[in-house]
Amino acid sequence: MIVPIAYDPQELRLLQLLSRRYPTITAAHTEMINLSAILALPKGTDHYISDIHGAYEQFDHILRHASGAIRRKIGQTFGIEMPRQQQVDLAMLIYYPEKKLRQTLATLDDPHDWMATTIAHMVRVARTSAQKYTRSKMRKRLDPQLAYILEELLSESQADHQQKERYYRSIVTSIVELGEGENAIITLAYLIQNLVVDRLYILGDIFDRGPAAEKVMDRLMAYHYVSIQWGNHDVIWMAAASGGDAMIANVIRISLRYGNLETLLDGYGISLRRLMDFANEVYADDPCARFQPKHGPSFEDYTAESVARMHKAISIIQFKLDAQIIRRHPEYAMDDRLLLDQIDLKANTVQLYGQSYPLLDSHWPTLDPQDTAALSEGEAAVVEDLRYQFQHSVRLQEHIRFLYSYGNMFQVQDGNLKFHGCLPVDEAGGFIAFPLGGEQLAGPALLARYEQMARAAYFSHNPESRQNGQDSMWYLWCGPLSPLFGRLRMTTFERYFVADKATHDEAKGPYYDLRDDEGFCRRILTAFGGDPDHGHIINGHTPVKVRKGERPIMAGGKLIVIDGGMSVPYQSVTGIAGYTLIGNSHEMSLAAHAAFTSADEMIAQRQDAAPQTEQIASFPQRVLIADTDTGAMLKGQLEDLRKLVEAYRSGVLVEGGGDRPARV
């Protein structure tokens, strides 16, 4: 007797939807075979990068050599068969194919043999790099113009190997003789770059400090797989693009402070003309000595004097807008940062935590003693102009939407926990509850609510929800219990106006004292759903000061900080030019990078400045896709397909019937 299989209505509807894609038992079986084969493949290589801060040239170079992974693939392919210098030359050709080709071809009288040999070598490296991919996945990464030829070259056959090699040589010879050699070499170089890394993870702070954050964003948008955890410097740009006035002022102030206007002016087409006119009028006789940029500006129509005046003007505007947020949210408990209320204009002093300090700047023409947070008419007009520009910059809006689509506050991936900064915890390591969105939240729930409110700041049509979301992003930027800031206070005001450097201190929260404790890291991993035994916490945010003996690997390897100062302003402190992390099916390794000079110099010297690597973890058995989160998802799909086949065989669904269930 056949016992009919019972399906609840929701499960039956899902199976009906699945039957549209797999209308027969054979179709379902074919996909099950495909999924089972994928599960048996080794996991791909993951590349982790943090705190880019607009340093496009260094970032682009790291992507091109994949933190040394391409050199390792070349070594894996050729071993002692190819001399070391030849491997270096091949690596540089893969990193910078156009530049290296131009240099090499200029030295050859007859480049045909060199091209044919080089194409053959690159095909072998591409084959090695493609071993972890299905043919379908690899096919998607091929340049359409040469897809058929490349697929033939990359397909290996053990049968009649000698005959097959003659076939390959014939293809390569034809490519060169027909004048497609250079095109094939360039295409293969970028294919190898594409294949060597499966997934790219960015742990925050794409923006600020460096001159080309917009180029970094363009590069990320063109990458085949990207996941982003937002950093504090990303959040202020996101809130600014949503129309958050305080964050617009913060973005402008930081750009002026570092003499870094390229991203604003050239990248996003945001004009500072209205701000400059206002600043030159209101601060015309003010030397603005405290507001000279850290790096000399060299922009058309913006003199050093104008930049300093704009810098002071937007700083005062920012302090007022910050104060408005603090007043709107007493639950933030930040009344101690209402510093404009503590200014005595007659005595030219400011009261800080019970002590009076002389102000280094006595010119405050727009400060209303009756309401220190009120914008003057001119300041309000400047803010309105900037808000309109931020909200209507097409390129900026495209980039911010990408950050929302591919970014979040934290992510647990294959047992590892990734987030940019820190966690609000007390001295004992317990999560601190914080009032957000009408609830007291802590730990993972708090970060999830921050993410929800950040999305509301940009997408909500409800003015109150949008405003609250923008304000929560401001708190993420500078609040004492922010997981993206992690310090007791942001002393921007004191650094501008108070000489006593003791007031400039930004004390770190307890997380930074606890993160070297393995037990603490295990508890954090468990709380977020990571793997406390084999997983790692991966952070950025705080540059590792290698010069002072600091180490990026903490808590017995449980926590890794990969901010090594990629941006030039940090390199004098860190002593290197960035850390990155590489994880593959065999191991997880940390790479320490030297400052990048130029591709031309590297090619001319025939030296590949590969990063220094340090193994963090090795896996006793090669990690397969079946062992990863992707594998868990594919196993779920296999189970769904098994149920679909059961439904066909039991007569609950009819093969080829689309939505039509059998008569049951």
> Does pTM top 0.85 for this prediction?
yes
CA 608 from chain centre, in angstroms, equals 25
| 597-627 burial: b if 16+ Cβ within 10 Å, else e | eebeebbeeeebbbbebeebeeeeeebbbbb
pLDDT for position 611: 87
Cβ-in-10-Å burial (0-12, 13-18, 19+) of 420 comes to buried
Between residues 237 and 663, the one the model is more confident about:
237
Please report, rounded to a whole number, the percentage of residues in the chain having pLDDT higher than 70: 94
The answer, yes or no, to whether residue 99 has pLDDT greater than 80, is: yes
Question: What's the average model confidence in pLDDT over 161-185?
Answer: 84
Q: How far is CA 54 from the centre of its chain?
A: 11
pLDDT interval class at 297 (50, 70, 90) = low
DSSP 317-370: HHHHHHHHHHHH-GGG--GGG-GGGGEETTTTEEEETTEEEE-S----TT--TT
Token digits for 561? 């900080």
The least confident of 285-289, 488-492, 567-571 is 567-571
| Residue 662 Rama label (left phi>0; alpha psi -120 to 50; beta) | beta
* Average pLDDT score over the chain: 91
The answer, yes or no, to whether residue 2 has pLDDT greater than 90, is no
For residue 88, what pLDDT is reported?
94
pLDDT in the model for residue 3: 52
Is the pLDDT reported for residue 510 higher than 60? yes
Confidence of residue 657 (pLDDT cuts 50, 70, 90): low
The better pLDDT of the pair 239, 595 is held by 239
Q: Give the pLDDT score at 1.
A: 43
Going by pLDDT thresholds of 50, 70 and 90, the confidence category of residue 664 is very low
Q: What is the mean pLDDT of residues 398-408?
A: 98
- Give the pLDDT score at 15: 94
Average pLDDT over residues 190-202: 95
Of 302 and 268, the structure prediction assigns the larger pLDDT to 268
Question: Taking the chain, what is the end-to-end CA distance rounded to the nearest angstrom?
Answer: 16
Q: What is the pLDDT of residue 161?
A: 63
**pLDDT(159) > 80:** no
Checking DSSP bridges between strand 199-202 and strand 537-539, what pairing results, if any?
unpaired
Task: Count Cβ atoms within 10 A of the Cβ of residue 386 and give its class: 0-12 exposed, 13-18 middle, 19 or more buried.
Answer: buried
Residue 662 above 60 pLDDT?
no
